[in-house]
Amino acid sequence: MTEDLKRAAAMTALEEIRSGMIVGLGTGSTAGHFIRGLGLKVQSGLEVHAVPTSEESRLLAELVGIPLTNLTASRHIDVTVDGADEVSSSLDLIKGLGGALVREKIVAHSSKRVVIVVDESKLVDRLGRKAPIPVEVVPFAADSVSTQLNRWGGEVRLRQKDNKIFISDNGNMVLDWYHGVIDYPQLLEKQIKGITGVVDSGIFAHVAAMVIVANATGIHKLHRPA
Ligand code: A5P
């Protein structure tokens, strides 16, 4: 059921894509549905180039035949379609439970428009209700950043995957900061980024132009107020 909703949101985002566009490809299961859908459109003649936000998405895009580019060859991306772990009522996001937050943020900030695709389980009134804040750190700084975040409150856990320390596509570690409800996402995003050794965090404040939400009643498009 959830998977059907994720797919429905992702398929709706295909309406945003036109021939000639440079498209940012997000990471995660919902973004995966979008990539597969885009692959089918490419096979039927749609002409796009895409910038993936992870090795996982790059492999999937190659598999389904989407021509790839990068931020050196294509400085500006027309539209990026990505998933999220939490979407607040003001359309701020927590991302990065899939571990691709740094490339996702770089691609999002290089995009004219960012469209987020989610099932309704990702909606919260305020960020931090359910998800921790992923914080990607240079491995040498994992302890010092963890100490600083702990001083600010909550609980910090070094991310593990398959009983090993998780290493991102960039060769870094990820701290999951169980912060609790976030009152000022934009401010906290800046504060985390200000800690030496932090590469970036999974708070994406003021990034999404539109969020496509799928639930049992259908598809709902939420727009960021101008
Ligand atoms: C990847 O790093 C994340 O930002 C994903 O976008 C997020 O975890 C959403 O994943 P799902 O679409 O699999 O729920």
Residues present in the chain in total: 226
Query: Mean pLDDT per segment of 10 residues, for the chain of length 226 residues?
Result: 96 98 98 98 98 98 98 94 98 97 98 98 97 98 98 97 98 98 98 98 98 97 87
**So what's the pLDDT on residue 1?**
85
Is residue 112 a contact partner of residue 57, using CB atoms and an 8 Å limit? Answer: no
Q: Give residue 202's pLDDT.
A: 98
Tokens read off for 146: 């963890």
Alpha carbon distance 205, 90 (integer Å): 9
For the question of residue 104 being annotated catalytic, the response is yes
Q: Which of 86, 104, 136, 189 is catalytic?
A: 104
Model-wide pTM > 0.85: yes
Contacts of 111 (CB under 8 A, 6+ apart): 24, 76, 77, 78, 79, 80
Nearest to 50 by CA among 2, 37, 158, 96: 37
What are the strands, taking DSSP E only, across 91-197?
93-94, 111-119, 133-137, 155-158, 160-161, 164-165, 173-178
Residue in 92, 93, 97 to alter for ligand 1 test, most ligand atoms within 8 A of Cβ: 97
